[in-house]
Amino acid sequence: MIHIDVFPYPPPVLPCAGKTVVVIDVLRASSTIVTALANGCRAIIPVEDAEAAQAMKTRYPDALLCGERDGLKIRGFDLGNSPFEYESAKIAGKELILTTTNGTHAARLADDAGAVLVASFLNFQAMIEHLKSVEGEIIILCAGNDRQFSLEDALCGGLLAGHLYNEAENCRLTDAAEWARHAANSLLGKAHPLSVEVIYPLLHQSEHGRKLFELHFENDIRHCARLNVFAQVPLLKQGKFII
Ligand code: MLT
């Protein structure tokens, strides 16, 4: 039996001991983590802030410092948080230390979980296939925006809960997951099947989408709206996301 719960934004404390937590930060941390691992980086170490990143760097001197604040690369870091910066030539075989405003915070909230995975639209179906083999409690954790609700993460989370409910056997949704499923479907309206053409306008109109557009990251929004480009499901092992 699979039980699915959805947190539309991060709670102060996440009750996740022994559970499987799926972290979603469509714009852009999840999309960047999935893209970077698919492009060959060895591992991604999520940390809370720039200070923690510098401290982790002393343990992993060869690792790249990566991350954003207010959408822009942190001063003195090697890479920001645009998935386009994570090309194989720059990151293949390397370990990355990553801090972002919402995505890595959400990942660290799940420290007590039995398993922590990363989902986005880029690896959507791969995540569903993976979760079908999971038994027990699944928490879909939307990273949100500054600990508040974000449309893009709730859309992805609601659709993930809905698709898993339709495709997996013995699946039970909590009220929050049921709500998220219906809200996501009504946002799509008649726009089916799911595709980048359907997802992109919704990401573009979201609060964070508008901010990224103002910062000239329109191509990032389009990349993060692409569906099922990668078959990888990042998993946290000893504090590092690997595939
Ligand atoms: C976040 O974690 O808040 C986002 O990924 C920020 C961004 O990339 O703009």
pLDDT in tens, 13-45: 999 999 999 999 999 999 999 999 999 999 999
CA distance 121 to 128: 11
Name the DSSP class of 136: E
25 lines ligand 1 (CB under 6 A): yes
* Whether pLDDT at 186 is above 80: yes
172: preceding bond cis by omega (within 30 degrees): no
Contact 99, 52 (CB under 8 A): yes
The residue count of the chain comes to 243
Q: Is 68 in the pocket of ligand 1 (CB under 6 A)?
A: yes
pLDDT at 192 (0 to 100)? 67
Phi, psi of 7, deg, nearest 5: -105, 110
Give residue-wise pLDDT tens across range 37-78.
999 999 999 999 999 999 999 999 999 999 999 999 999 999
The predicted model scores a pTM of: 0.97
Give the residue, by CA position, lying nearest to ligand 1 atom 8.
28
Ligand 1 pocket test: which of 208, 214, 217, 221 has the largest number of ligand atoms within 8 Å of its C-beta?
Answer: 208
Closest ligand 1 atom, residue 101 Cα: 3
pLDDT digit string, tens, across residues 120-164: 999 999 999 999 999 899 999 999 999 999 999 999 999 999 999
Centroid of ligand 1 to alpha carbon of 197 (angstroms): 22
Decide whether any atom of ligand 1 lies within 6 Å of the 30 Cβ.
no
Instruction: Taking the CA atoms of 49, 52, 58 and 62 in sequence, report the sign of the dihedral they define.
Output: negative
Structure tokens belonging to residue 185: 């479907």
Predicted local confidence at residue 189, as pLDDT: 81
Nearest-atom index, ligand 1, CA of 208: 9
Asked whether 10 lines ligand 1 (CB < 6 A), one says no
